[in-house]
Chain A
Amino acid sequence: MTTILKIVRYVILDVLRNRWVIAYAIFFLAVTDVLLRLGGSGPRALLSLLNVVVLLIPLVTIVFVTIYWHGAREFNELLLSQPVARATLFHGLFAGLIIPLSLAFVVGVTIPVLVQRAADAETLRLLALMLVAGCALTAVFGALAVLIAGLVDDRLKGLGIALGVWLLMTVAYDGLILWVAMTFQDYPLEGAMLALSFANPVDLARVLLVLRFDVSALMGYTGAVMQRILGSPLGIAAALGGLAAWSIIPGLFALRAFRRRDF
């Protein structure tokens, strides 16, 4: 087993015993169950769940990972006093945090769908896409959290910035899009809207699912634009590529900071 996998194993062991991660899984389990009971068909329930997913996953991930990364500083010192390269520790810690958080979400959402036998072919396709979007958001906001925690030594300041990033990307960004759409309504805005949705991973995840749900009009202007311009399969591929870039680029900056920092 490589050193990265050994580190991943123990970080997962630690995170899975964390009561907040357990509560996170139970929350998704309860919400999905209630939505399936009240919402009727599987796709309609999943559509309702989408709004919870795009708000809650970024919030929980960015807060949990920022706090964990700051809290692990002294233990990282101990690990780096072993024959462990910094990049190895970084990758091991990152994967060790992202895997259990993703797992909590996947388990929490999947179990009620399977238990309530809401899993017809269409629901399963949507569920799979939602799980991919949720895991991608976990990786994106995990990478942003690691970058924030790596650049800002002060724990409270780091947490404040993390919350600010979440607010900006989930709440303020929609306002910005609306303002742009209203202000420049006399101009062709498709290109600008497309660029704006790639500039926000939450919007990308939303678009990814909107294209599949075919309810873009309900889910915001960017979804409608993207569906019209790119069409579904290409849109999904582009959105997934955008989400991958959103996790890799901040992750690489965070790795650079981790390699250079003094512990």
Chain B
Amino acid sequence: MVRARGVYKNYGRLQVLQGLDLDVARGQVTAIIGPNASGKTTFNKILLGLVRADRGEVVVDGHRLDGSSSYRAHIGYMQQAARFPENLCAYDVFRMLADIRGAAAGRDEQLVEEFALGPVLRTPIRVLSGGMRQRVNAALAFLFRPNLLLLDEPTAGLDPISSGTLKDKIRQERAAGRTFILTSHVLSELEELSDRIAFLLDGRVQFSGTQNELKSLTGEATLERAIAHLMRQAPKAAAPTKTTTTP
């Protein structure tokens, strides 16, 4: 579904991605894990065309990224912290994106109910709580039944019920064959949801494989401990550690 080769990105003197290679398998949930400033969000934004890579090749669903926008019709994106025009209501935002995508875009009308947005659908977004805005954000990501979903810290700011709803939704859509890329610092959540792990450090993928492969590589029983193990090895990892990739 996603293929990245030799991707570099610098922000001024800050080197964020330094030759990132990653394959994301279709129909699976891939978790991108890494310390702060390891390049997780930058990689997601490169996939969306929000950030341009300095070098390297990225292919999304057979489309080589070249600055065009049409391929994004098949992508859903949930930002870490969404902000919407304050005087619009959630209903306006849903309609706006539906208008932009055109009538042909099949909509998941159940989402309003699933994320319990009915009572606030026509309330100006400026008066909604942060958690409620995040629910709107989550519903928008799934709204057009995209093939690929990029969810950046998706449960941050959600209450336990909404967080559970979102996780159920991810499982349900994964079962329907959709591909997910998840970034989160809540490792228990990623352990629960993800099929594959990509561990980023210093702008490179230090490990890519299934959870079991990671656990057996590190000899640890949980994802959290396995990631901690990789991070402890970080200084040694100047030379890349074992990388198993499955296209």
| A contacts, CB < 8 Å to B | 1, 3, 6-7, 9-11, 13-15, 17-18, 71-75, 77-86, 260, 262-263
B92–A13 touching, CB < 8 Å: yes
Does any Cβ of A come within 8 Å of B72's Cβ? yes
Which residues of chain B (58-109) have a CB below 8 Å from chain A?
Answer: 68-73, 75, 77, 79, 81-88, 92, 96-97, 99-101
Query: Looking at the complex, which of B44-52, B175-183, B230-238 is the stretch in contact with chain A?
Result: B44-52
The 8 Å CB contact of A13, one of B48, B84, B88, B101, is: B88
B49–A75 touching, CB < 8 Å: no
Q: Interface size on B (CB < 8 Å)?
A: 33
A80–B79 touching, CB < 8 Å: no
A71–B48 touching, CB < 8 Å: no
Does any Cβ of A come within 8 Å of B140's Cβ? yes
Interface string of B34-60 (1 = CB under 8 A from A): 000000000001001111100000000
| B contacts, CB < 8 Å to A | 11, 45, 48-52, 68-73, 75, 77, 79, 81-88, 92, 96-97, 99-101, 124, 140, 150
In addition to A17-B88, A262-B11, 19 A-B residue pairs with Cβ atoms within 8 Å of each other are A1-B99, A9-B99, A10-B96, A11-B85, A14-B85, A14-B87, A17-B87, A74-B79, A74-B82, A74-B83, A78-B77, A78-B82, A80-B50, A81-B50, A81-B75, A82-B72, A82-B100, A85-B68, A262-B50
In the complex, what residues of A have CB within 8 A of residue B86's CB?
A: 14, 71
B87–A81 touching, CB < 8 Å: no
Q: Known: A78-B79, A84-B69, A84-B100. Contact between A262 and B85, CB under 8 A?
A: no
Within the assembled complex, what's the spacing in Å between the Cα atoms of A85 and B150? 19
Q: Which residue of B lies closest to A80 (CB)?
A: B50
Q: Known: A81-B75, A262-B50. Contact between A18 and B100, CB under 8 A?
A: no
In the complex, what residues of A have CB within 8 A of residue B140's CB?
A: 78
Within the assembled complex, what's the spacing in Å between the Cα atoms of A72 and B84? 7
A sample of 11 inter-chain contacts (CB < 8 A) reads A1-B99, A3-B100, A10-B85, A13-B87, A14-B87, A75-B83, A77-B45, A78-B82, A80-B49, A82-B101, A262-B50
B99 → chain A closest CB, angstroms: 5
Within the assembled complex, what's the spacing in Å between the Cα atoms of A84 and B52? 16
B51–A263 touching, CB < 8 Å: yes
Within the assembled complex, what's the spacing in Å between the Cα atoms of A82 and B48? 9
B48–A81 touching, CB < 8 Å: yes
Within the assembled complex, what's the spacing in Å between the Cα atoms of A47 and B148? 60
Within the assembled complex, what's the spacing in Å between the Cα atoms of A79 and B69? 11
B83–A262 touching, CB < 8 Å: no
Q: Which residue of B lies closest to A14 (CB)?
A: B85
B88–A83 touching, CB < 8 Å: no
B45–A263 touching, CB < 8 Å: yes
A237 → chain B closest CB, angstroms: 38
In the complex, what residues of B have CB within 8 A of residue A14's CB?
A: 85-88, 92
Within the assembled complex, what's the spacing in Å between the Cα atoms of A115 and B92? 35
B105 → chain A closest CB, angstroms: 9
Q: Known: A10-B96, A74-B82. Contact between A80 and B48, CB under 8 A?
A: yes
B45–A262 touching, CB < 8 Å: yes
A98 → chain B closest CB, angstroms: 16
In the complex, what residues of A have CB within 8 A of residue B69's CB?
A: 80, 82-86
B101–A10 touching, CB < 8 Å: no
